[in-house]
């Protein structure tokens, strides 16, 4: 299944292995969205020794054939507070940020994340156009207060979530 990521607020959750879980894949655009992007993700339980993002303009190709393999520019342990641990038994997490430069404007890029030989599912994103044209954004977020006993942010979390789901389906 191909997943489409919009901004950095939407995340994908999947578990390829018990020891090392690749999660929360997202695309971040900062200054040059037509030619640059940052792919960020989280691994649980371990940082991994060999991490990289595999990128191409063609979908569904094998890991060895991707046109670009970019290692993370920054990665490290996620800081947890005592409050984080108070409500859930959360595993240790690690962040990873790989910068992609020299991308072509108005182009669909497919990517997979590879950590210690494990591959994520395939995602894609579109770079911005260099031509002025109308753009619509939809954003969302996830408090990530899950676990066996999830906490919910806000006074009406289920009502608010249902309203967002109606907007997505529209």
State yes or no: pLDDT of 164 exceeds 80.
Answer: no
Q: Mean per-residue pLDDT for 137-155?
A: 62
Specify the residue for token string 């959750």.
Answer: 13
Does residue 40 fall inside a structural domain? yes
Does residue 164 fall inside a structural domain? no
Specify the residue for token string 């303009």.
Answer: 57
State yes or no: pLDDT of 142 exceeds 50.
Answer: yes
CATH code of the domain containing 31: 2.60.40.380
| The 21-28 sheet, strands edge to edge | 21-28, 37-44, 93-100, 74-77
Does residue 80 fall inside a structural domain? yes
Distance of CA 121 to the CA centre of its chain: 11
Concatenating the DSSP letter of every residue in 91-119 gives: PPEEEEEEEE-SPPTT-EEEEEEEETTEE
- Among residues 63, 67, 16, 5, the alpha carbon closest in space to that of 44 is found at 16
Put residue 59 in one of left, alpha, beta given phi > 0 → left and psi -120 to 50 → alpha.
Answer: beta
Give the residue, 90 or 27, on which the prediction is more confident.
27
d(CA 31, CA 48): 29
Give per-residue pLDDT as tens, 54-105. 999 999 999 889 999 999 999 888 887 776 666 566 677 888 999 999 999 9
Does residue 27 fall inside a structural domain? yes
Helix and strand counts by DSSP (H, E) for the chain = 2, 10
Give the residue, 12 or 20, on which the prediction is more confident.
20
Does residue 112 fall inside a structural domain? yes
Confidence of residue 2 (pLDDT cuts 50, 70, 90): very low
Does residue 147 fall inside a structural domain? no
Q: Name the domain count of the chain.
A: 1
Contact status, residue 56 vs residue 110, Cβ threshold 8 Å: yes
Q: Give the distance between the most distant pair of CA atoms in the chain.
A: 50
Does residue 157 fall inside a structural domain? no
Q: What is the pLDDT of residue 48?
A: 82
N-terminal to C-terminal alpha carbon distance within the chain:
22
Which pTM value belongs to this model? 0.69
């Amino acid at each position: 299944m191909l997943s489409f990521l919009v901004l950095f607020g939407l995340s994908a959750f999947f578990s390829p292995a018990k020891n090392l879980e690749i999660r929360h894949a997202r695309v971040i655009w900062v200054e040059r969205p037509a030619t640059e992007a940052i792919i960020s993700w989280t691994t649980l339980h371990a940082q991994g020794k060999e991490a990289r993002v595999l990128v191409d303009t063609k979908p569904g190709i094998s890991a060895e054939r991707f046109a670009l393999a970019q290692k993370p520019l920054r990665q490290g342990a996620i800081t947890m507070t005592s409050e984080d641990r108070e409500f859930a038994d959360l595993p240790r997490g690690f962040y990873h940020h790989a910068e992609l430069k020299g991308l072509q404007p108005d182009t669909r890029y497919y990517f997979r994340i590879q950590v210690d030989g494990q591959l994520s599912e395939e995602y894609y994103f579109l770079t911005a156009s260099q031509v002025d044209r109308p753009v619509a954004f939809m954003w969302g977020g996830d408090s990530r207060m899950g676990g066996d006993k999830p906490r919910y942010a806000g006074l009406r979390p289920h009502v608010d979530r249902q309203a967002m789901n109606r907007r997505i389906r529209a």
